[in-house]
Amino acid sequence: MANKSQALHRRRFLKSAGLIAGLAVASSHANDRRNRAVASPSEPSSRKKDKIRHVRAYIIESPRSDDGLPSPKEDVWTNTTLISSPMSIYPEYHDDRGSWGKNVLGRVIVEIEDDSGRVGVGISSCGVPGAYIIEHHFKRFLLNQYVHDVEKLWDQMYRSSIHYGRKGLAIMAISAVDLALWDLLGIQRQEPVYAMIGGQVRTEIPMYATTPNPEYAKRMGFWGAKMPLSHGPADGREGLLKNVAIAEEARSKVGDDFELMYDCWMSLDVPYTIELAKMLEPVRIKWLEECLLPDDYDGLVDVRKAIKSCWLTTGEHEYTRYGFLELLKRHCVDVVQPDMTWCGGLTEAIKIANLARAYNVHVVPHVSATYSYHFCAAQTNCPFSEFIIWGERGNKIEPVFRNLFRDEPMPENGRIKLPDKPGWGMTLNRNELNLQRPFPV
């Protein structure tokens, strides 16, 4: 009897043990499947339409404007005002910036479309050459990729073009693509760009105006005005005195409670800049902008050592974090001014802002309208932004990008408040633009 009872208990134990072992094996298999699922996730159906299907690069052929900015024949102050430039040292190119081909490349407009037909738009100023780079080179890195992989896509475009790029055309082309990616990403997520890069640190952005007549800017509610410098070293002592006289007249019109700046547009040398700054001390100029050629970093150091009466700013024609680091580590500028459509786009501008923050330097983008506004809204070290006033006398408020977009935000009483629209919040104005795609591939 005892042997029978022991055998029965043994059989029951083995059955129970087998059941437990079976459960353990089943659980192990389930865990393996879960682990494999984590390691190799299947593509969620909600993301299958997020990939890039088309990349298109356009140029503009328009009777009004060759690049969304004033055409050379328009009566706009940028065409009719004497403005000092790097080419002013040559008499045949002294009086007209258009004569030496300032805007010869024109605008490039990039559209990036995803599988569901949603389209993001970005722009730059690299025209036909930029369109070629985008269509024939960069497109391979974009097609069939997720839009949210902006960092990877930027890095691949940059690294693959390093042997002919680094600055200038290639980075401008990257900028246009990058801005289009951020636009499309915002449209996919139904969020404005500023919300995707940290949210607003300010709900309104104070603006200064660029105009040859600061009194108009003051009446419009801007806190300051930047004037174009008319004369450079080639104009001698007489030109220097005229620059000072223009500033003195402007100060007399706007009073002491309004800031004035001078845009020197890469046209001066070190001795001239130092002397100009000293002669302007009674006028209380807030800053001198882009006094020297962009590559003259050591010259900026010399100017910084000699000038204490005003800020020095530059960066409109600088490219990528590496170029701006050269300025920052020399401690030769008070404000860096990347152009969002040239410096590498938003992805790179964020890195530039982070570098500048570590050096306690302000970032105030060169006029690039909505692209600048979203960036500034989300950066603690970007206290204000720039707005260019058009018109023959610099007295007309209209979109910075003129006829490119239908709904560019406009300042009210010298301040910009961004709408809560997806992406950059602008719509390409196809009805007024003659878009041509020179390299459809």
Question: Active-site positions?
Answer: 366
User: According to the 3-state scheme, what is the secondary structure of the chain?
Assistant: CHHHHHHHHHHHHHHHHHHHHHHHHHHHHHHHHHHHHHHCCCCCHHHCCCEEEEEEEEEECCCCCCCCCCCCCCCCHHHHCCCCCHHHHCHHHCCCHHHHCCCCCCCEEEEEEECCCCEEEEEECCHHHHHHHHHHHHHHHHCCCECCCHHHHHHHHHHHCCCCCCCCHHHHHHHHHHHHHHHHHHHHHCCEHHHHCCCCCCCCEEEEEECCCHHHHHHCCCCEEEEECCCCHHHHHHHHHHHHHHHHHHHHHHCCCCEEEEECCCCCCHHHHHHHHHHCHHHCCCEEECCCCCCCHHHHHHHHHHCCCCEEEECCCCCHHHHHHHHHHCCCCCEECCECCCCCHHHHHHHHHHHHHHCCCEECCECCHHHHHHHHHCCCCCCCEEEECECCCCCECCCCCCCCECCCCCCECCEECCCCCCECCCCECHHHCCEECCCCC
User: Is residue 341 classed exposed, middle or buried when 0-12, 13-18 and 19+ CB atoms within 10 A define those classes?
Assistant: buried
What tokens does 287 get? Answer: 């800053």
Q: Are 378 and 194 in contact (CB under 8 A)?
A: yes
